[in-house]
Amino acid sequence: MVKITFITQENETITVEGNSGSIMELAVNNTIKGIDGDCGGVCSCATCHVHVAPEYMEVVGPPSEIENDMLELDDNVTEYSRLSCQIPLKETLDGIVLKVAN
């Protein structure tokens, strides 16, 4: 199981566990406020936008070009922005912290 911690816009810290799918799916399945996943994970809505805690950015990795194009449309974009539907759950992500950007 991979543990992921979300920090919501209200500063609530919620840690959930999963072992497959994307981080967006994990968030939606656990009703993490602010991650809606409206497009179902096809990188076309940005309702799954998160800011990766800086110390975990290297393990999460940068956004793809298509993801970047989508992020550019979002006002709240930073160098730590990722669309969580584009991050598959994997063991190396165990323990990461993501701040909900929406």
Q: Are 98 and 48 in contact (CB under 8 A)?
A: no
Give the residue, chosen from 18, 34, 41, 63, that forms a contact with ligand FES under the rule CB under 6 A: 41
Strand 96-100 and strand 81-83: pairing? unpaired
34: contact with ligand FES by CB under 6 A: no
For ligand FES, the closer CB: 7 or 87? 87
Residues in contact with ligand FES, shown as a per-residue x/- string from 65 to 94 under the rule CB under 6 A:
------------------x-x---------
Rounded distance between C-alpha atoms, residue 87 and residue 21, angstroms: 9
50, two tokens = 């998160």
By CB under 6 A, the count of residues binding ligand FES is: 13
Specify the 3-state DSSP secondary structure of 88: strand
Residues in the site for ligand FES, rule: CB under 6 A? 24, 37-39, 41, 43-48, 83, 85
